[in-house]
Structure 1
């Protein structure tokens, strides 16, 4: 029996008992009868309230049951998703481990098979070093500086077998010219050291009666069959540079020998910074060489840096170069740039690409005379002047900023 049914039954009994009492007791007054009626009304109201409460409870129970069901469903779904993700994570971890293993194996294989040490183009390899003979004349300090620009130094000769190689190399290539090498006693008279590492010279190959006098720099003397002689450092001679071989990755497959192409995972990166000591402006790098060479030698040296004597093709570039030269050397030295009219008198071209010069910045009265190479003249606030190509001056090199592939 439900609660409401029980209360209906209870009221029925009470009403029956009350009416029966009234009938038996004829003397009962209207007040007692009214009291019974009030009690019945109160009980009836209570029963209605209880019924409403019961209905509300039923609805609440149904709502709670529904929410519990939905909650259980959500928990079950989350559990399934977590289990699926957990399986995926473990799969990814295993794949990552395999890729790392393959990468390590590839690196090890690369180091075993594909790394070799090489010399740059035009350099000659011997044991762990590369050698290059510069066939124009510079003072010892200038030669040492130029070797440094190539990533090397004036040659060190540290054994008889190395000396025999260099003697043979010079006899073949120097054409009877004496050649600066890297030994000097500038720091302490009579104590010769290699400029490469400041080590005291141990192996020697002096010519007859050498060293002697007040000279401080060492040449391989042609007249001594390239045995050594100490000489004045200011004298100008050919010079022999040396540098260590560099590690280079050898391509292992035919496909890897093909030019690199951009792909969905490979992009052209922004231009790389200029090499050390070079200054970037727009898409070019610039380097002022503060040693004096003639125009042809200067352009040759710029070429060894991967560049050329500077081209100046606009007013804004010209303004930059004026500031650059003024910042680095004030107004103390004239500077070779890359224009010349060697091919056709009065038709100036840039040595970089043989283009006819369009923008110009000539000084007063220039160009004129029989000169064929162009300088930025300090006395003209770095406006241009044509001069004799054989004159020796500082020079300005330019090279393009390179792009790189990143994948």
Structure 2
């Protein structure tokens, strides 16, 4: 009889302990999945941020790397329009770095993130790219691209994948 009473007490204590643990435990806080950090703009599965502190091409890429991405690579008219609108929203500048250059091999433009270069928007009316420099900037007024010297100091736009 004492053994049965002892077992009932153990089960009762375990049950109460489980109930109390559930009542007093904090709910788990999970970060919002599939979203961009504060201050970043989302388009599809990428996050974008405009950085208005002017830097050379290499310095801008380094900052974007620190932020978990690269300078923006642009692969469509929609993405190009988003970058232009981000630049226009910060009326201080008329152009910004994008992550495209032909610094490794002349006339072979590569994105700093290594993605395919299947889209370009060079200002062909102005004979761009015209080998003024190996690095590429985007123009606020019409969204076209121009090649310039990499030592030019410009604002820039970073891109990073959404963290899953």
User: How high is the TM-score relative to the length of structure 2?
Assistant: 0.78
Q: CA deviation at 1:331?
A: 7.5
Question: CA 1:101–1:339 in structure 2 vs 1: closer, same or farther (change >3 Å)?
Answer: same
Q: CA deviation at 1:358?
A: 1.1
Q: CA deviation at 1:377?
A: 1.8
Among 381, 384, 403, the residue aligned to 2:145 = 384
- Within a 5 Å distance, the mapping from 1:12-161 to structure 2 comes to 95=15, 97-98=17-18, 100-101=20-21
Q: Would the aligned equivalents of 1:347 and 1:356 in 2 still touch at CA under 8 Å?
A: no
Q: Would the aligned equivalents of 2:83 and 2:157 in 1 still touch at CA under 8 Å?
A: no
Distance 1:290 1:309 in 2: 13
Residue of structure 2 equivalent to 1:351: 112
Q: How many pairs were matched up? A: 148
Q: CA deviation at 1:338?
A: 0.5
Q: CA RMSD of the aligned region, Å?
A: 2.9
Q: Would the aligned equivalents of 1:286 and 1:397 in 2 still touch at CA under 8 Å?
A: yes
Task: Give 1 or 2: higher helix fraction.
Answer: 1
Distance 1:99 1:372 in 2: 67
Question: CA 1:101–1:301 in structure 2 vs 1: closer, same or farther (change >3 Å)?
Answer: same
Using CA pairs under 8 Å that are at least 6 residues apart, name the structure with larger relative contact order, 1 or 2.
Answer: 2
Q: CA deviation at 1:316?
A: 1.8
1:361 and 2:117 matched? no
Distance 1:333 1:96 in 2: 67
- Which is greater in Rg? 1
Residue of structure 1 equivalent to 2:90: 329
Distance 1:289 1:389 in 2: 17
Question: CA 1:97–1:316 in structure 2 vs 1: closer, same or farther (change >3 Å)?
Answer: same
Distance 1:324 1:94 in 2: 58
Residue of structure 2 equivalent to 1:340: 101
Residue of structure 2 equivalent to 1:372: 134
Task: Give 1 or 2: higher strand fraction.
Answer: 2
Q: Would the aligned equivalents of 1:289 and 1:396 in 2 still touch at CA under 8 Å?
A: yes
